[in-house]
Structure 1
Amino acid sequence: MDRDILGGITAMIELNNLVVGYQGKALTPPISGHFSAGSLTAILGENGVGKSTLLKTIAQLHAPVSGDIHYGKPTSQLLSWLPQQSDIDRSFPIRVFDVAAMGCWPNTGLFNALSDTQYQRVREALYQTGIASLANNTIDTLSGGQFQRMLFARLLVQDTPVMMMDEPFVGIDSQTRAALMELITALNQSGKTIITVLHHIEVVQAFFPQLLLMKNQQVRWGETQHILPQYLHQHWTSSPRAQLSQPQQGADHEPACS
């Protein structure tokens, strides 16, 4: 069952002094806070600060350097992952339908056939993402936008409570970006907890109520309307660890665990 913490707010994922990096070398300061159920959070920051590494560590693709992560339920039932396009070999001869159907693997295993229900679920996901007509195309024939829609279809098929996305709008046109953002918003409104690494500040500002901001070996975590102006206008000078400010009347910062 999910754990209720911080005044009854349900935490899907909780970070406790989490430090992430590679081969034991830290990229971030200790980060503490939680992603509440149904939240929509962007991770924003300059190149090299550890945004994607943080997301991959939460997704259990990397081990933490130190600290720990607590999950509201077993991760196989909780998490799904949309990688950067650059992480995928696009020359592999596989059909669009088969990539989307990989979202069924946690339930079917690698080699078992799809049930009729699962087959229909894959078809519906391809329709929702606007690429049903490309189901039998191989992935090497896809444009950047079509490829990203396919990855979103796989995410829809997996249908987990928490969906994590690493730079989902890189290399796609504005029309596709708008369509996928509409899909993300609908997923969140249906109750999904969504955590997304982004570099489009205007998208963060317009659509993401929660922000985990990384800059100069420091982290701010809270409501976008309070945190984002610091990134745009202020230089941080406080201690290099995640700032967990307490709620105060008239304060500029929201609690980091919101």
Structure 2
Amino acid sequence: MIECHALQWGAGGTALTPPLDLKLPAGSLTAVIGGNGSGKSSLLKVIAGLDRPLAGRIEVGVPLLGGVSYLPQQQQVDRQFPIRLAELVSAGLWRSRIGRSEQRMRLRQALADWGLLDLQTQGLHALSGGELQRALLARLSLTDAQLLLLDEPEAALDEVGVRLLWQHIEHWQRQGRTLMWVSHNLAGLSQKHCEALMIARGGCIFAPIGQFITDRQRFGQVA
């Protein structure tokens, strides 16, 4: 699904890491971990086709338009934009070819799944950080994309929101979708069966998440 060949990325023409070679199969679940400024978010943008790599190449086994869905950090969302929560969530259906009645059903179901039915008429400016994050995740859940790239999806979520997030991640994985997500919550990943890509100035390491948790002394501060 994703293949990186001697990939390098970074701002201002300066690579953040040595060349990365990586292959992630379809249906895989990968956490992207590392310290602040290491290049985690930048890597997701390169994979999503939003930024160009500095060197090397990347192959994504789905069309970038429609086949990939990217969840940005919520500070990139203009909370003064004059739309309601339901309109933000419904943007996940913009490429859908299903009829209007089916779209309305799916939208309502997504709002219900994320506990947003009572907030659907609220403007973005009136939402808490956790409510906005659930709305962004609900929008993503309406897409048919096979590759989901999530930049800090747990941000601002309370315990209930995190539980809903993991229910959806497990559901998406059962559907055979490929997921990569940036996380600073290493403790929260300790009970999950997934791989992790640690990004650092000295290089990138790909291993089961448990290896990073049990051998922190070797890997240092990874999240």
Q: Could you state the TM-score of these two structures normalised by the residue count of structure 1?
A: 0.79
Structure 1: stretches of 5+ with no match in the other structure: 1-11, 109-113, 237-258
After superposing the two structures, state which structure 1 stretch, 171-180 or 39-48, moved more: 171-180
Q: CA deviation at 1:219?
A: 0.6
1:26 aligned counterpart, secondary structure: coil
Corresponding position: 1:234 with 2:218: yes
Deviations 1:125-157 (A, max 9, x none): 111111122111111111111111100111011
Q: CA deviation at 1:60?
A: 0.9
Residue of structure 2 equivalent to 1:170? 155
Q: How does 1:3-18 map to 2 (within 5 A)?
A: 12-18=1-7
Residue of structure 2 equivalent to 1:7? none
Match of 2:129 among 144, 151, 160: 144
Following the alignment from structure 1 to structure 2, what is the Cα–Cα distance between the partners of residues 208 and 164? 18
Deviations 1:146-195 (A, max 9, x none): 11110011101112111110011122222322222222222222322110
Following the alignment from structure 2 to structure 1, what is the Cα–Cα distance between the partners of residues 57 and 75? 28
Q: How does 1:77-92 map to 2 (within 5 A)?
A: 77-92=66-81
Following the alignment from structure 2 to structure 1, what is the Cα–Cα distance between the partners of residues 10 and 35? 16
Q: How does 1:1-258 map to 2 (within 5 A)?
A: 12-107=1-96, 115-230=100-215, 232-234=216-218
Following the alignment from structure 2 to structure 1, what is the Cα–Cα distance between the partners of residues 34 and 144? 28
Following the alignment from structure 2 to structure 1, what is the Cα–Cα distance between the partners of residues 58 and 94? 24
Following the alignment from structure 1 to structure 2, what is the Cα–Cα distance between the partners of residues 163 and 33? 17
Partners of 1:43 and 1:196 within 8 A in 2:
yes
Following the alignment from structure 2 to structure 1, what is the Cα–Cα distance between the partners of residues 55 and 188? 32
Name which structure has the greater RCO, CA cutoff 8 Å, separation 6+: 2
Q: Could you state the TM-score of these two structures normalised by the residue count of structure 2?
A: 0.91
2:179 aligned counterpart, secondary structure: strand
Following the alignment from structure 1 to structure 2, what is the Cα–Cα distance between the partners of residues 153 and 15? 29
2:50 aligned counterpart, secondary structure: coil
Following the alignment from structure 2 to structure 1, what is the Cα–Cα distance between the partners of residues 65 and 193? 26
Structure 2: stretches of 5+ with no match in the other structure: none
Determine which structure has more spread, i.e. the larger CA radius of gyration.
1
Q: What's the RMSD between the two structures over aligned residues?
A: 1.9
Following the alignment from structure 1 to structure 2, what is the Cα–Cα distance between the partners of residues 224 and 101? 34
1:47 aligned counterpart, secondary structure: coil
Q: CA deviation at 1:208?
A: 4.6
Following the alignment from structure 1 to structure 2, what is the Cα–Cα distance between the partners of residues 91 and 166? 22
Partners of 1:20 and 1:53 within 8 A in 2:
yes
After superposing the two structures, state which structure 1 stretch, 17-26 or 37-46, moved more: 17-26
Identity rate, percent: 35
